Amino acid sequence: MDEVFARRDLLDAQTLKELCRPSDLRGALQLVSHAAALIVTGALTVRLWGNAWMIPAFVAHGALLNFLYAGQHELSHWTVFRTRGLNEFWGRVIGFLVFYPRTFDQVQHVAHHRFTQDWQRDGELARPKFTFSSYLWWISGVSYWYSRWRRIVRFAAGIVTEPYLPVSRHREFIREARWHLAGYLAIAVLSVYCRTMIAVQIWLAPLLLMKFVHQMQNTIEHLGMPHTNNVFENTRSTRTNALMRWACWQMQYHTAHHAFPGVPFYRLRELDRLLEKRRGVPAPAMSYGQFQWAVLRAFTVGRSEGDYPDEHAWISATVAADEARSA
C-alpha cells in the first residue's frame, strides 16, 4: 500500500485528473480504425483464399484479430469512451470474438492489477511455472487456447474454482459462459446450414493460428520481472514502432499503465514521459526480439522458471546485455 501512495507523489492531482479524462472521439478513432483495418484484411483474405498472396493478408488479419484483446483490456478499464455504455457494449462484443468473456476478464484483471506478480492472487499469473517446452506451447497459442476454451466450458457446466474470483459473482461467470457457448453454437449451426466457411476464413483460422503474435506482447509485460509489489520493478514496457503501438492500443507503455490504470491508452505515451521525467529514470523496457531471445537463452541452458529466484529479475535488458558480452 505504501508503494501505491508513493506513485501518487509522482503526479499532482490536477495533472492526473486531466490525464484520466476519457474521450468518446479518441476512443472511436482507435476502434473504427482497427475495425476498418480488419475489414480490409478480412476481405483480402477471402478474395485471395487458396492463392499464395493470401498469406500476408491472413497474417495481418490474424494479428489484428488477436490485438482486439488490447481493446477489450482497455474497455474493461472503462477508459476507452467517456460514455460508459459504449465501454460495456464493445467490451462484450470483443470478448465474444476473442473467446474471453468480459465479466470474467474484468474481475480477473482487477486481481492482476492489485496483486501483480503474486503467484497466489494475480489472476493472470495462475499457471505452473514455465519450462522450456511449456513456454513454447504457450507462446505458440496452443496451451493458451486450450486453457481459454476449457474455462468457458467448465464455467458453462457450473464449475468455478479460481480462488481469485469472488463466490458472490460465480453465477455471473456461469451465465456469461453459457451465453458465449450458445452464440458459438448458433454460428456453427448457421454456417453448416448455409454451407459457408466464412466464419472459419475471417475469424477462427486467423485468430487461432496467429495467436503467437499477441503472445509476444502478453509475455513481455511481466515474465522474468521480480515478484514484488512495485510496478516499476514488476512490469516491463516494450520498445517498438508506431504501427505496433497502434495495433496494440499503446499497451507497450505497460509500466505507465500499471502505475496509473485509470489513464486512457491514448494518454499513456504522455504519462510515460512524465513519469520518466519525475523519476529521473526510464521504465524497464526491451524490444520483442531482445526479450524473446533472452527468454530462450535462459531456458535452453537447462533451467526452468522455477530455478530463478522470484525476488530478482532474470529477464531484463541488463541481463541480456551481460550475456551478450560474455558470449
C-alpha 284: how far from its chain's center? 18
| Polymer length of the chain | 327
pTM, to two decimals? 0.93
d(CA 45, CA 54) in angstroms, rounded, equals: 5
Q: What is the pLDDT of residue 116?
A: 96
Q: Would the pLDDT of 155 be above 50?
A: yes
The pLDDT of 148-152, averaged and rounded, is 97
Domain residue ranges in the chain: 2-326
- 301 pLDDT band, cuts 50/70/90, is confident
Q: What is the pLDDT of residue 2?
A: 40
Q: Would the pLDDT of 85 be above 90?
A: yes
Q: What is the pLDDT of residue 159?
A: 98
- 326 pLDDT band, cuts 50/70/90, is low
Task: List pLDDT tens digits, range 220-273.
Answer: 999 999 999 999 999 999 999 999 999 999 999 999 999 999 999 999 999 999
Per-position b or e across 9-29, b if 16+ CB within 10 A of its CB: ebbeeeebeebeebeeebbee
Q: What is the pLDDT of residue 1?
A: 37
Q: Write the DSSP assignment of 158-185 as a string of letters.
A: T----TTS-GGGHHHHHHHHHHHHHHHH
The pLDDT of 71-76, averaged and rounded, is 97
- 87 pLDDT band, cuts 50/70/90, is very high
Q: What is the pLDDT of residue 303?
A: 83
Q: What is the pLDDT of residue 319?
A: 59
**Cα separation values, 154 from 15, 184, 274, Å:** 44, 15, 44
